[in-house]
Amino acid sequence: MDWREDMLASRDLNDREKQGYGFLLSWYETWRISRRLQPNLQSARQFWRQEVLAKDRKQWQLEQWAQAVRWYLQWLDICARQGWATVSLAEKVRDAVERTGARRGLALKTRQGYGSWAARFAAWAGVRKRVTNPEYARDWLGQLVSQSRVSYATQKQALNALVFLYRDVCGMEEVDLGVKLRKTPKRIPVVLDMNELMKLIEKLEPIYRLPAQLQYGAGLRVSELVNLRIKDVDTERRQLTVRAGKGDKDRVTVVPAQLVESIELNKKRARLLYEEDRRNKSPGVFLPGALMRKMPKAGERWAWFWLFPARDLSKDPDSGIIRRHCLHPAVYSRALQRAALAAGIEKRVTSHVLRHCFATHLLESGCDLRTIQELLGHGDVRTTEIYTHVAKGANGCGVRSPFDDW
């Protein structure tokens, strides 16, 4: 069942109410699906607190939207009594894409990204007949490129998601959506100076301080940081190995000498959690790719344990197994944002800013671009060259302002 069809067919609502209800409920559906929440009173209350009440609204809006939510909850109740399914078309398309992606061996983030874009397209298309018609996909992608003005990488991901939908889910042999993507200019990265960086790290909660120091000190992406295993960090040689980084590439980067002692202490704390899991006979940690089949017991070995393990066990999104996962990147990123606010840093601070700082500070100290490219794992040195635009001093290809000569 689809609430839109029932709402449009309702004789109890006038055209203005249908328009207002449709706006609010479409908003709620998009929000709910993006967070993978079920349609119920609890998610509706959460949506109301986080989205509707997040800004000042006019009284007539609140009254109309409250009526819309009540109508929707009554509709859910009727569907439940009649035994009708209430899964939306967008959710069906998303789930189909993610299931197919899992069978094809796509990475979890790739499956979720494809599923999210496919769901957005399905919500725009509205009905199954349009979803399975590439003509509508072409129109939607065209609007995404020309009107939404999203980045070139985002355009490519949306296009790839719909090609996957038609080729792998719908079984079409030839898929040519014929959309010309629009190149977007590269943005200058945000970089902190050393004083700002030290203030940020000082304001971090102790549990997140070492991860931030290591991310900056080794130039890691946040996914590379949280997925580090005990075996990946060699404090004797001061080398860190990134396994299956972006593009499924391995690389070696540096471990700061000042962090060796902290890393060893962190290993001792992680060892306590590891031994607790072994005493409780918890399943071993997640293993990537085909390693789970080749070495089914490796996840129970210390070498494969997380360098930054989560404090509690949680459900594996793929297998449903309750096991210990690594530090969640979103939890870590929110901690950085809290620290930046507390430190009074007047820049937009994300976890990736630490990686930008690593590259820029190396460039400013005289390190050559080719070495920085290898440490960062960039496939093309042109990607690394963006840091020449924010580096200071002659070594960073910067210039001295003539005002300083006065």
Catalytic choice (4, 32, 94, 378) = 378
List, edge to edge, every strand of the sheet that includes 251-254: 233-234, 239-242, 251-254
What's the predicted TM-score (pTM) here? 0.77
Catalytic choice (32, 229, 325, 355) = 355
Q: Are strands 322-326 and 309-315 parallel, antiparallel or unpaired?
A: antiparallel
Q: Where in the chain is the domain with CATH 1.10.443.10?
A: 194-387
∠ CA(310), CA(277), CA(228), 5° rounding?
Answer: 40
Domain 89-169 fold is DNA polymerase; domain 1 (1.10.150)
Catalytic choice (221, 325, 356, 361) = 221
Catalytic choice (92, 209, 246, 392) = 246
378 is catalytic: yes
Catalytic choice (387, 389, 392, 400) = 387
Token pair listed for 233:
């960090």
- The predicted structure's pLDDT at residue 396: 46
Q: Which residue from 228, 200, 178, 143 is spatially nearest to 348, judged by alpha carbons? A: 200
267 is catalytic: no
Class of domain 194-387: mainly alpha
∠ CA(142), CA(108), CA(212), 5° rounding?
Answer: 100
352 is catalytic: yes
Residue 242 forms beta bridges with which residues?
Answer: 251
Which ranges constitute the DSSP H helices of 302-380?
329-343, 351-364, 369-376
CA distances from 110 to 92, 99, 115, 234, 295 (A): 18, 12, 8, 30, 25
Catalytic choice (238, 352, 389, 392) = 352
Rounded CA separation 136/149 (Å): 19
Q: Can you give the pLDDT of all 406 residues of the chain as single tens digits?
A: 678 888 888 888 899 999 999 999 989 988 888 888 889 999 999 999 999 998 899 999 999 999 999 999 999 999 999 888 888 888 899 999 999 998 888 888 889 999 999 999 998 888 889 999 999 999 999 888 888 778 888 899 999 999 999 999 999 988 888 888 888 777 889 999 999 999 999 999 999 999 999 999 999 999 999 999 999 999 999 999 999 888 788 999 999 999 999 999 999 999 999 999 999 999 999 988 778 788 888 999 999 999 999 999 998 877 788 999 999 999 999 999 999 999 999 999 999 999 999 999 999 888 899 999 999 999 888 888 888 887 775 444 455 555 555 6
Q: Where in the chain is the domain with CATH 1.10.150.130?
A: 89-169
3-class secondary-structure state, position 309: strand
Rounded CA separation 374/215 (Å): 16
387 is catalytic: yes
